[in-house]
Each structure stands twice: as structure tokens, then as C-alpha cells.
Amino acid sequence: MKIIPYGRQHIDNNDINAVRKALSNKLITTGKEVTRFEDFFSKKVGAKYSLTCSNGTAGLMLAYLALGTNEKNVIIMPSINFIASYNMADFIKAKIYLTDVDPKSGQMRPKDLKRCIKVNKLKKISTVVVMHNGGIPCDMKEFFKLKNKFKFNIIEDACHALGAKYDISKSHKVGSCRYSDLTIFSFHPLKNITTGEGGMVTTNNKKLFEKLILFRNHGILRAKTNYKKYAWNYNVISSSFNFRLNDFQCALGISQLKKLDKFVKRRREIVKEYKNRLSSMKEYINFTDQNKEKISANHLLVINLNLKKMKISRDQLISKLFQKKITTQVHYIPIFKFSIYKKFYKKNFFLNALEYFKSSISLPIYYNLKTKEIDYICLQLKKIIK
């Protein structure tokens, strides 16, 4: 048995051919594949505007820049989180506040946000970054009510949530920015679709979109050109980065996006296969996504362990599974645990985040994971835990 990773991309011949074809285009960056990918993405998620960028982290930075974030602004985000949203806000020197989370899903809930605002006596909040941990959409309707009450911007970190919907009855998709100002996606190989490295920002706000375009390309403002008039001249109106994604990556993105529904469907089946095989383990294992796999992008399969019933710790379980060639992960180590951000830790404030962190692991889930591998993983889990 080979090592089973916890996530892996799926690249087929159509993807390879799409990249090969794009490499023979005249322009291999800032060419037609970029706009094709952006237009296709907008259609797929139901947003007015989509902007490709070099990765999800760049997307988060672009969102902060487009919103005009500076050192006077307050940004709130969950403590169970990938470090990118925190790092980028810290880079801008914004005033960052972390919330506690739901102990099962690791997600920030509206009540966690309200508590953070109250305890820290926050008056003016610039932006709240919501993260759909695992691919399960957060309670955006409630966050939207708070947005209207407190007048803050919402950025959705949807790096896990491409393919997710906000509710079962309607087809409102994550990425449509129905409840937010901007939504960010990552196309890292472990995500639901990949461009190697890559990202996308969606919005319905034209002004924000124009700012995203500006900040993606060094803060350069260029006059519109046509075949009669060659506009070589340009102005720089802000300092910024080169956060562009090239054409062959965008061609791969288009080819991958065509397969998104198939990818998500298989992930949903995998969740069911795990649940069936582990149904006798309810005493020890809880699935955090409960009955939400129909709206979830099923990016991660996080389980919560009932450590009181178990003879081994979460860390021991991870090493024992690894001895059996099964790779797992923890999503995520709370941000306040890292040495650089320890100073923000508040005693007794993040109790749920700590509980979630201690008891959760992510099991392997990806399009190519075979049913016989799921059988093996579940068998090993049962043997080790029991």
C-alpha cells in the first residue's frame, strides 16, 4: 500500500492539452485565457465580476487593498483559520481581533462575532473575514444582518468552498457575493480545482473590481488602447504588487472548472462512504458536517474525536495512522498559538477553539480516493481507536 495523502489534485488529458494549447498562444500572460477563465468563473458562481490572481493569499491582500484598509482599521476573523488572512492584514498593520468558534466545525458563528465586538468594546469595525472551514458555508444570512447593523465590509475566505451553496432550496452559490463585498478562492493543488498556484476574487461592486484590477498590476493606470492609437503611456497611482496569473494556468483553470461538479459529487460520495463505514464508531467519532454535505463543497473531511472515551490522544492517533501510511491533517492550529501572534491570546476567551483544535483531524478526501482505500482507512481507524 502506497502512502495515502489527505488531499491530491486530479489532472487529466484534457487539462494537459488545454495547457499545451495555451502555451502556443501569442500571449502567455495577460492574454485571452485570463478573461475567458474570469468570465467562466463569474457565470459558474453567479457573480458580476471575477479577477484572477497569483494565489488565494494575493486575493486576500487585493481585497484588503481594494477596501482601502490601513492601520486605523479594525478587522475581525476566526481564530481557527489558515494564516493567510491574518498575515496579510498584519502586513497592512490593521488592528486585528480574533473570535472564538463553534467547537465542532471550527467556524466563526454570528454569536462569536457579537461576543468579540462586545468583549473588546469595538465601536467601528472595518471588515469581517468569514472563513468557510472545510467547505461548509457559514451562516451568511446572519452575518449579513450584522453587516447592516454595524456597517462593516465582509470578505468571504472561500478557499475551501468552491462548489458550495448557501442553502439547499435555492441555487445561491458561494462566490456570488450575495452576503459579502468580496469572495476569495485558492487554486492550490489541494483545493477543489487547481491551477498549480492561483486564486480568484469575486465581487458585484464595479468600483471594488476596478481597484482590484489596479492593485493586481503594480497600481498602474493605463488609458484604453485600440488599433488606431497605441497607448504606450501609463501612470502609477498607488504602490502595489504583481499578482497576475498567467494564461496557461488560466487555461488549466478553465479545464478544471468544467469538472467542478463532478469533483464535488465524488467528494460528497466519499463523505457518505466514510459515514457508512464508521457508523459503529459514533461513541468516538463525530462528523462535523452533520447533514450539510448537500450544500458543502466537501473540501475537507473533519472529524471530532470524543477524547474522553479514547485511550489515545489526537496526536497519537495521527502518528499511528501515519505508521499505517495514512496521512491526516489538522485544520487548523489556532492563530494565537503561533509564536509571532501569541501576544493576542486571551485567557478563557478561545475555549471552543482550543477544544476544536485538540479533538479534530481531517481524513483523506480527494476525487481519486478509491473506495478500497476508504475501507482501509476506516478499518485502521477502528483498530487504533478501539
Ligand X SMILES: Cc1ncc(COP(=O)(O)O)c(C=O)c1O
Segment 15-54, which members bind ligand X (CB under 6 A)? none
The amino acid at residue 340 is: I
Torsion of CA 346, 349, 354, 355, to 10 degrees: 160
Closest residue to ligand X, judged by C-beta, is 56
Please say whether the dihedral angle defined by the alpha carbons of residues 175, 176, 179 and 184, taken in this order, is positive or negative.
positive
What are φ and ψ of residue 158, in 5° steps? Answer: -105, 30
98/285 with CB nearer ligand X: 98
Can you tell me which of 109, 160, 165, 211 binds ligand X, judged by CB under 6 A?
160
Query: Which is it for strands 285-287 and 301-305: parallel, antiparallel or unpaired?
Result: antiparallel
Can you tell me which of 9, 53, 56, 86 binds ligand X, judged by CB under 6 A?
56
Piece of the chain touching ligand X by CB under 6 A; list 140-148, 154-162, 224-232, 313-321: 154-162
With binding defined as CB under 6 A, does residue 57 bind ligand X?
A: yes
With binding defined as CB under 6 A, does residue 157 bind ligand X?
A: yes
DSSP three-state, residue 286: strand
35/87 with CB nearer ligand X: 87
Cis ω before 284 (30° cut-off from 0)? no
Can you tell me which of 37, 82, 215, 287 binds ligand X, judged by CB under 6 A?
82
Can you tell me which of 19, 22, 65, 84 binds ligand X, judged by CB under 6 A?
84
With binding defined as CB under 6 A, does residue 199 bind ligand X?
A: yes
Cell numbers at 88, concatenated = 496579510
With binding defined as CB under 6 A, does residue 106 bind ligand X?
A: no
DSSP string for residues in 53-86: ES-HHHHHHHHHHHTT--TT-EEEEESSS-HHHH
CA distances from 319 to 82, 181, 185, 322, 328 (A): 22, 41, 31, 5, 9
Q: Closest approach of Cβ 365 to ligand X, in Å? A: 14
Piece of the chain touching ligand X by CB under 6 A; list 19-27, 88-96, 152-160, 361-369: 152-160
Q: Closest approach of Cβ 86 to ligand X, in Å? A: 10
Q: What is d(CA 137, CA 281) in angstroms, rounded to the nearest whole number?
A: 26
18/129 with CB nearer ligand X: 129
- 23 dihedral zone (left: phi>0; alpha: psi -120 to 50; beta): alpha
56/163 with CB nearer ligand X: 56
With binding defined as CB under 6 A, does residue 55 bind ligand X?
A: yes
Interface residue list for ligand X (CB under 6 A)? 55-57, 82, 84, 131, 157, 159-160, 186, 188, 199
